Chains A and B, each alone.
Chain A
Amino acid sequence: MADLRDTIDNQKDPDADGGSRFGFTKPGRDGIPALLVKVLFLGVVIGTAIALTPALVGERSWTFLVGIWVVTVILVATYATGRALPAKYLVPGTLMLALFVVYPIFLTAQTSFTNYGDGTRNDKQTTVDRIVGSSVVRSDDSPQYNLTIATDGDPESGPFTYFLVPQSDPETVFEGTEDGLEEDPDGVTVDNGRVTAIEGFTVLDIRQVSAAADALDEIAVPTDNGNFIVRDGTSEAFEGAPTLVYDEDADTITDTTTDTVYTAEQQGDREFFVDDEGQRLSDQSWTANVGWRNYERIFTDSRISSSFFGIFVWTVVFATFSVIGTFLLGLFFAISLNDSRVRGQKIYRALLILPYAIPGFISLLLWSSFYNEDFGLINDITGLDINWFGGATTAKIAVLLTNLWMGFPYMFLVSTGALQAIPDELKEAATIDGAGGFAGFRRITLPLLLVTVAPLLVATFAFNFNNFGAIFLLTGGGPFTPDNPTAGGTDILISYTYRLAFGAGGVQIGFAAAVSVVLFVVTGLIAALQFRATRSLEDVN
C-alpha cells in the first residue's frame, strides 16, 4: 500500500517544487521581453493612478485616492526592486483577496450598523433639500407663462433674463429679473404667444437652458404678491412659492402657510420631521448609524427567534441530504458507466449531464409547475393526488427530490473523473488479495475517491446551505402557516432572511447586512469544522 501511495504522490507533483530551480526566480536576470512587460505593466499602473487622481480629488473621495496610491506604491515597490522575492508571488493574490473578499465583507459589516434602506438612502442634507424643494405650490391665480430665457452676456453664466408671455393673454410681455417683473420691455419680437427675439439679447435654446440650470436656480424673480416665477420645464413658468422653510440652526422645517413647526424625532430606527402631535411631514428619512440595533433585532425579535432554530435545523438537513443524495446517485451512475462493458457510454454520459446543462432557473420553474396539485405533470403521471407544496412534509420531499435531480450530474462528473484517475492496477491488486466486489469498492475505491471528492462535498454543502434559488424559485419558502407568514415550511436561512429584509416593509439593507454577517459567521464555522473533518479523512488514507 505504501509503495502505491508513493507512486500516486509522485504522479501528482513531479515538478511541484520545480519552479525554484529555474532562472526566473533569480533577481537581476530577467530577459529583455520580461523587462519590457514589467516596465509596461508598472507604467500602466502608475499612469492609471495619475489619471484617476484629479477626478478623485474633484469628488473628494479621499479614501479611494489613498487606496489607489497605496496599491500603486506596493506594486512598484514589489516589482521594480529586486528585493522582497516572496512578495512577488503573494502580492497579486493578496490584493485580489483584499479587493474582492475582504473589502465586501468590511462594507457589509459597516452597513450592518446603519439603517440604510428604503426611505433612508440619502443623507440628511439631501433629504431636507428634497422635502423643501418639493414644496413649491402654484399660487391660486397664477397664469401659466410661455417662458423664453435670454442673456445679454454669456449663455453659460448669464446674467439671465426671463421673458414671459401669459398663455391666457398673448399680447402682454413681461421681463423678469431679480428686481421683479416689468411689463412691455423694448425691442421684443413676439411670435405665436412666445418671445422669439430680443434686441441685444441671445435667446437660449433647450440645451443651453439645461446646461445653465444651476445658475438659473440661483435667480429668484419675485412677483408683486410675494411669490416667485418658477420654471416649469424649459418653455413654461408659473407663479408660486415654496411653503416649507428649513431653519438650519434650529434644525426645524416650518410650513409657512400654517406656521406648523416640524422637528426631527426618532421613530423606529430612523428620524422623521414631525409636528407636535407626532404627525410626519414626509416619509423621507436619512441614513444614520444605529449601533447594534440590527443585531439586537435578530436575536430579540420574537418572530425571528421563534422560527430561527427550526429553520436552521432544516437548512442543515436540506444541505446534508442534498450533498449525500446527489453524491450517492452521481457515484452510482459514475460506477455503472465506468465499467468498460457498458455499451454506449458516451451517449449515457452526455444525457446524464443534461440536467446540469439546462439553466437552473428554468428547470426550477418547470419543476415548480410539475408539482401543481391539479395540473402538474407529477400527479398526472403517477395518478397521485398530493398537494405537494400544500404541506410542509411533502413540500420538503419535493424540494429534496428536485435538488437531487439538479445536483447529481455535477457529482456524476466529479466522480467519473476521480474514478478514472484511480489506476486499474490498484483494483486488480485488491481483487488478487481477495477484496473484490463491494469490499474492493469500500476499502480501495471509495477512500481514494473521497480524497479527491471530499473538499468538493464540503463546497457543495456550503453551496446548498445558501442555495437560495432552489427554495425561492420552487416553493417560495412555502407553505406558510397563517399565524406566521414570514417563516415557511421549506425556508432555509438565506431565503428566510431575504424575506425578512426585503419581503415586508420595503428594502432594509442595513438589517439584511447584519443578517449576512451572522450567516457568514455560521457558515464559516461549519465550513471550518468540515475542513477539519476532511483533513482527518486524508490522514486515514
Chain B
Amino acid sequence: MRRFARTLGPAAAMVLVMTAAACGGGSGSSSEPSGSDNTSSANPDGGDGGDADLLVWTDSLKIDAVKEVAESFGESNGINVKVQAISEDLQGNFVTADAAGNGPDVVVGAHDWIGNLVQNGAIEPLNLTPDELSGYSEKAVQATTYDGKLYGVPYGIEALALYRNADVVPDEPASMDEAIAAGQKAVKAGEVDSALNLPVGQLGDAYHMEPILTSFGGYIFAYDEGSGYDAQDVGIGKEGSVKAAQEISRLAKANVLRTSISGDNSIALFTSGKAAFLVSGPWALADVKKAGFEYAIQPVPGFEGQEPAEPFMGAQAFMVAANGKNKDIAQEFVNNGVNSEEAMMTLFEGTQLPPAMTAVQEQVDDPDLTVFTEAANAAAPMPAIPAMASVWEPLGKAYSAIVSGKDPVATIKSAGNTINKNIADAG
C-alpha cells in the first residue's frame, strides 16, 4: 500500500497538469489567421524581392488571389512579379521597410491604415480619372480617399451584419429590440445560452459596439463630406454616446451583453448553436455555413425609435509605396492591372469579400454576400485618420467597464476625456 501511495502521489499532481494541457486542444481560442506559407516577415535586406520588377506585399489570407492578378499583369507586360505574404503586422512591417528603402512596390491592406501610412510618407496618391472612380461603390472611394486624394484602389468591402440562427428564431426582426427580445425568449426556453453574441471581452471591442453607438446618435469623429473625419470633434462623452452607454448598461444587466463573449469565442459559440444572434462580418460566413443549422443574415438593424445602426465599413485596397524601387510599374499595375473588371472578379472569387466595383457587385448571385454588400454600402467608412489609434483602447475599455457594471454616464465621459488627451499628446 505504501508503495502504491508513493507512485500515486505524484500521479495525482500529474493529472492536474495533464488536464490543463489536454483540454486545451478543443477550445482553439485564437481566430486570428496566422498562416505562414510563402512568408517572409520583416525581410530586412529585401534580398528575395531584388530581382523582381514588381514586388507586392499582402497577407497570407489573400495571397492566392493577389498572386493571380499580379501574375497575369506580369505576363501581359513581360515582367517578373513577386507576391509575398507578411503574416504578422503587415502595416508595421511595411512602414518600417519602406522607410528603410527595402519595402515592396505595392501593398495590399485595409483602408484604415491610410492615415498612418500617409503621415509616415509611406504611400503615394493615385490619379484615377473621375470616370474610372465612378465604377466603384461610393463608400469604397470615400474610404480610400484621404485629405481629398485617392490613396488606394479598393477591391473588397466589409461591414458587420446580424446573423440569426433561423432554427431558433424563424422570423426576421425589424429592430435590434425585437432581435434581443426573441433571443431572450430562446434563452428562457433553454434553446440557447446567449441571446446575442456581440463581442465585448475583458478589454472591450469598440468595433463591434459601433452599431449600438450610432443607433443612439453617437459618433466617434464628426464627419464632413469635404474634409473627412475631424479629430478635433470627438463625439464620445457627448449626448448620443451617453444614451448608447445607458442602453449598453441596461443590456448588460439583462445579461445580453457579457464580457465573457469576446472576438475569440463569439463565432464559435454561435456556430455550435449556443446563441440566437451573432454580430459579425463576412469573415464568419464560411464557419456559419458549415454550422449545420438554418441561418439568415441581415444588415444590423437600429433600435426602435432610434436612428439606423451604422457599423464601420472597411475597404481592402491596393496602395503604391512611396519608396518602392519600381514606382512607375507599381502605378501601372494599380491603375491598369488591378483597376479592371477582370482583375476585380478574380479578387472577389479568391477572397470572397463583397466586391467594391459595382460592375462586379452586380454579377454576384450569392444572397449572403449581397447582404454584406448592402450592409457595407449603408455603413460609414472606419476613420482612417491617425487620431483613431487614440480611440480604440480607451473606448473599448469603457464599453467593457460599463458591461461589467460601472456607471455608464461617468465611464463614457471619462473615456471621452482620455481620448481627447491622447489625441493632444500624440501631436
Partner among A119, A127, A343, A499 whose Cβ is within 8 Å of the Cβ of B393 = A499
Known contacts A238-B127, A268-B425, A505-B423; A476 and B394 CB within 8 A of each other: no
Q: Identify which of B124, B127, B259, B401 contacts A230 (C-beta below 8 A).
A: B127
With A235-B336, A387-B259 as given contacts, are A283 and B331 in contact (CB-CB < 8 Å)? Answer: no
| Stretch in A186-194, A219-227, A368-376 touching the partner | A368-376
Listed residue (A283, A285, A482) with the most chain B CB atoms within 10 angstroms of its CB? A482
Question: Which one of B322, B328, B393 has the highest number of Cβ atoms from chain A below 10 Å of its Cβ?
Answer: B328
User: Given the complex, which residues of B lie within 8 Å of A381, measured CB to CB?
Assistant: 19
Question: A residues within 8 A CB of B261?
Answer: 374
Question: Cβ of B414 and Cβ of A267 under 8 Å apart?
Answer: no
Most buried by B among A205, A381, A506: A506
CB-CB contacts of B381-418 with A at 8 A, as 1s and 0s? 00001110110011001101110101100110011001
Pick from A127, A272, A354, A367 the residue with the most CB of B within 10 Å.
Answer: A354
Whether the Cβ atoms of B17 and A480 lie closer than 8 Å is no
Q: Cβ of B11: which chain A residues have Cβ within 8 Å of it?
A: 348
Binary B-proximity of A265-294 (CB < 8 A = 1, otherwise 0) = 001111010000000001111000000000
User: A514 contacts the other chain (Cβ, under 8 Å)?
Assistant: no
CB neighbours of A363 from chain B (8 A): 21, 24
Which residues on the A side are within 8 Å of B21 (C-beta)? 354-355, 358, 363
Q: Check if B65 is an interface residue, CB within 8 A of chain A.
A: no
Interface size band for A: 35 or more
Expressed in whole angstroms, the Cα–Cα distance for A136 and B335 within the complex equals 16
In the complex, the answer to whether A354 meets B18 with C-beta atoms within 8 Å is yes
Q: Tell me the bound Cα distance from A403 to B398 in angstroms.
A: 28
**8 Å CB interface, A344-386 against B:** 344, 348, 351-352, 354-355, 358, 362-363, 365-370, 372-377, 381
Q: Does the CB pair A505–B401 fall under 8 Å?
A: no
State whether the Cβ of A524 lies closer than 8 Å to any Cβ in chain B: no
* Complexed CA–CA distance, A336 and B398 (Å): 49
Would B427 and A369 count as touching, CB distance under 8 A?
A: no
Determine if B425 and A119 form an interchain contact, defined as CB atoms under 8 angstroms apart. Answer: no
Question: Are B14 and A485 in contact (CB-based, < 8 A)?
Answer: no
Q: Select the stretch in B1-9, B176-184, B311-319 that faces chain A.
A: B1-9
Question: A123 CA to B391 CA in the complex, in Å?
Answer: 28
- Are the CB atoms of B14 and A119 closer together than 8 Å? no
Listed stretches B113-121, B281-289, B366-374; interface member? B113-121
CB interface residues, A 199-235, toward B, < 8 Å? 205-207, 209-210, 213, 230-235
Q: Which residue of A lies closest to B419 (CB)?
A: A504
User: B295 CB to closest chain A CB, in angstroms?
Assistant: 21
Contact A480–B390 (Cβ < 8 Å) = no
A270 / chain B contacts, CB cutoff of 8 Å: 427
The answer, yes or no, to whether B341 is at the interface (CB within 8 Å) is no
Is B78 a contact partner of A206 (Cβ separation < 8 A)?
yes
Residues in A with CB closer than 8 Å to B6 are 339, 341-343
When each residue 495-539 of chain A gets 1 if its CB lies under 8 Å from chain B and 0 otherwise, what string results?
Answer: 000010001111110000000000000000000000000000000
Give bound CA distance, A272 to B95, whole Å: 20
Max chain A C-beta neighbours (<10 A), residue from B259, B327, B387: B259
**What does the 1/0 interface line of A104-143 toward B look like (CB < 8 Å)?**
0000000000000011011000110010011010100000
Q: Is the CB of A506 within 8 A of B53?
A: no
Are B121 and A390 in touch, CB under 8 angstroms?
Answer: no
Inter-chain CA distance A85–B116, complex, in Å, is 55
Q: How far is the CB of B25 from chain A (nearest CB, A)?
A: 9
Known: A235-B336, A372-B260, A485-B415. A268 touches B202 (CB 8 A): no
B53 and chain A: residue at smallest CB distance: A207
Cβ of A480 and Cβ of B14 under 8 Å apart? no
Q: B422: which A residues are within 8 A, CB to CB?
A: 504-505
**What bracket does the count of chain B residues touching chain A fall in?**
35 or more
Residues of A with C-beta under 8 A to B13: 333
A-contacting residues, B185-201, CB 8 Å: 193
Task: Check: A337 CB closer than 8 A to any chain B CB.
Answer: yes
Interface centre among A121, A269, A389 (most CB of B within 10 A): A121
The answer to whether A236 and B10 have CB atoms under 8 Å apart is no
Are A134 and B129 CB-contacts (below 8 A) given A122-B99, A210-B329, A390-B404?
A: no
- A/B pair count, beta carbons within 8 Å: 227
Residue of B nearest to A329 (CB): B13
Q: In the assembled complex, which residues on chain A have CB atoms less than 8 Å from the CB atom of B14?
A: 348, 351-352
A481 within 8 A of B: yes
Indicate if A176 sits at the interface (CB-CB under 8 A): no
Answer whether residue B332 sits at the interface, using C-beta atoms and an 8 A cutoff. yes
Task: Tell me if A234 and B386 are in contact (CB < 8 A).
Answer: no
Contacting residues of chain A (237-260) with chain B, CB-CB under 8 angstroms: 238, 240
Task: List, in ascending order, chain A residues with CB within 8 A of B20's CB.
Answer: 355, 367, 370, 405
Among the listed B30, B331, B426, which residue makes an inter-chain contact with A504, where contact means beta carbons less than 8 Å apart? B426
**A424 within 8 Å of B (CB atoms):** no
Check B119–A119 contact: CB distance below 8 A.
yes
> Hey, which chain A residues are within 8 Å of B397, CB to CB?
478, 480, 482, 485
Asked whether B386 lies within 8 Å of A373 as measured between CB atoms, the reply is no
Partner of B401, one of A133, A232, A476, A481: A481
Q: A369 contacts B17, CB within 8 Å?
A: no
Docked CA distance A210–B406 (Å): 59
For B328, give its contact among A210, A365, A405 (CB under 8 Å): A210
Known contacts: A233-B335, A269-B427, A482-B398. The answer to whether A333 contacts B386 by CB under 8 A is no
Q: Which residues of B contact A9 (CB under 8 A)?
A: none
Instruction: Using CB atoms, name the residue of chain A closest to B399.
Output: A482
The reply to whether B329 and A234 form a contact with Cβ atoms under 8 Å apart is yes
Is B79 an interface residue when CB atoms closer than 8 A count as contact?
yes
B23 interface hit (Cβ, 8 Å): yes
Q: Which residues of A contact B398 (CB under 8 A)?
A: 482, 485
| B124-A134 in contact (CB<8A) | yes
Please report the C-alpha to C-alpha distance between residue A485 and residue B411 in the assembled complex, in whole angstroms: 10
Q: Knowing A374-B260, A485-B418, A504-B393 are in contact, say whether A369-B27 is a contact too (CB < 8 A).
A: yes
A326 touches B (CB below 8 Å): no
Q: Whole-angstrom distance from the CB of B252 to the nearest CB of chain A? A: 12
Interface membership of A148, Cβ < 8 A: no
- Min distance, Cβ B251 to any Cβ of chain A, angstroms: 16
Q: Whole-angstrom distance between the alpha carbons of A240 and B425 in the complex?
A: 38
- The answer to whether the Cβ of B243 comes within 8 Å of any Cβ in the partner chain is no
Question: How far does the Cβ of B26 sit from chain A's closest Cβ, in whole Å?
Answer: 10
Looking at A133, A231, A352, A504, the one whose CB has the most chain B CB atoms below 10 A away is A504
Taking Cβ atoms with an 8 Å cutoff, the residues of A that contact B are 118-119, 121-122, 126-127, 130, 133-134, 136, 138, 144, 205-207, 209-210, 213, 230-236, 238, 240, 267-270, 272, 282-285, 333, 336-337, 339, 341-344, 348, 351-352, 354-355, 358, 362-363, 365-370, 372-377, 381, 387, 389-390, 405, 475-476, 478-483, 485-486, 499, 503-508
Which 10 pairs across A and B sit closest by C-beta, in order of nearness?
A: A505-B426, A233-B332, A482-B411, A366-B24, A233-B331, A268-B427, A369-B29, A374-B260, A283-B119, A130-B121
Q: List 28 A-B contacts (CB under 8 A).
A: A121-B121, A122-B121, A130-B322, A206-B332, A210-B327, A210-B329, A232-B335, A269-B427, A336-B10, A351-B14, A351-B18, A355-B20, A363-B21, A366-B27, A372-B265, A375-B260, A387-B404, A405-B20, A478-B203, A478-B397, A480-B401, A482-B397, A482-B406, A482-B414, A482-B415, A485-B393, A485-B398, A486-B418
Query: Knowing that A354-B18, A369-B264, A505-B387 are A-B contacts, what are 15 other residue pairs whose CB atoms are under 8 Å apart, sorted by A's residue number?
Result: A119-B120, A119-B386, A130-B322, A230-B127, A233-B328, A341-B3, A348-B10, A366-B27, A367-B20, A372-B265, A374-B260, A387-B404, A478-B397, A482-B401, A506-B116
